[in-house]
Chains A and B, each alone.
Chain A
């Protein structure tokens, strides 16, 4: 079964709305989670690393005030897209790695965000 749960799977909303996406590790604790964004026919691009109990680390070019990340517990990270605009429409995917490097990096099912 799934080890990383992501919710919601799809969001359609008006421009200017803020959207929160949740990512949960189901059977293990994750002090770190990763948030990726994927545009159609493109690769996964890492947006930020979510760290439990401390500030997220953002990749170059990603606006931290636009994409708010909160890692409130060892099993939950949230990404909030603030005042979303049509150019923010994308597929957002979270991932939670296990400590053992020989274990695969598990992904949530993704959230397809469409801003009208």
Chain B
């Protein structure tokens, strides 16, 4: 089976840097993804790590250590609009359009002025 752990809540001020950690225990692993979800909306893709190391996309970065079963999402220069829930998700296999993702419980980020 799959289980993922991430903090339930994080608070930061506008312009700051925040890191959201995710640890996972999975029977199979292909990659770790991060999604952002605003209230009432569907998840939107932020970043993906298939290999160890850092992936950078503008102000967002994501890191993966497969040996530690650990990853994090780093958000820099926080903006108020980035108050949302952030999910880490593990894709457990790749097999002809398969590769379902299991999601963590989500981290609610509150950005304060």
List chain B positions with a Cβ less than 8 A from chain A. 30-31, 33, 40-45, 48, 50, 87, 89, 91, 94, 96-106
- Tally A residues with Cβ within 8 Å of B: 26
Q: Is the CB of B102 within 8 A of A46?
A: yes
Q: Is the CB of A43 within 8 A of B104?
A: yes
Which residues in A have their C-beta under 8 angstroms from that of B50? 101-102
Which residues in A have their C-beta under 8 angstroms from that of B48? 102, 104
> In the complex, A101 Cα to B43 Cα: how many Å?
18
9-residue interface stretch from A13-21, A27-35, A82-90: A27-35
**B17–chain A nearest beta-carbon distance, Å:** 24
List the 7 closest pairs (A to B, CB-CB), nearest first: A104-B45, A110-B42, A32-B97, A101-B94, A31-B97, A44-B103, A43-B105
A107, closest chain B residue (CB): B42
Q: Is the CB of A46 within 8 A of B100?
A: yes
Binding site of A, secondary structure by majority: helix, strand, loop or mixed?
loop
Interface presence of A93 (CB below 8 A): yes
Of the candidates A99, A101, A110, which one forms a contact with B31 in the assembled complex, judged by CB atoms under 8 Å apart? A101
Q: Is the CB of A43 within 8 A of B106?
A: yes
Q: Is the CB of A93 within 8 A of B97?
A: no
Interface presence of A75 (CB below 8 A): no
A-B residue pairs in contact (CB < 8 Å), sample of 20 = A31-B96, A31-B97, A32-B96, A34-B101, A42-B106, A43-B87, A43-B105, A44-B103, A93-B42, A93-B43, A97-B91, A97-B99, A97-B100, A99-B94, A99-B96, A101-B31, A102-B31, A102-B50, A107-B42, A110-B42
Q: Is the CB of B103 within 8 A of A34?
A: no
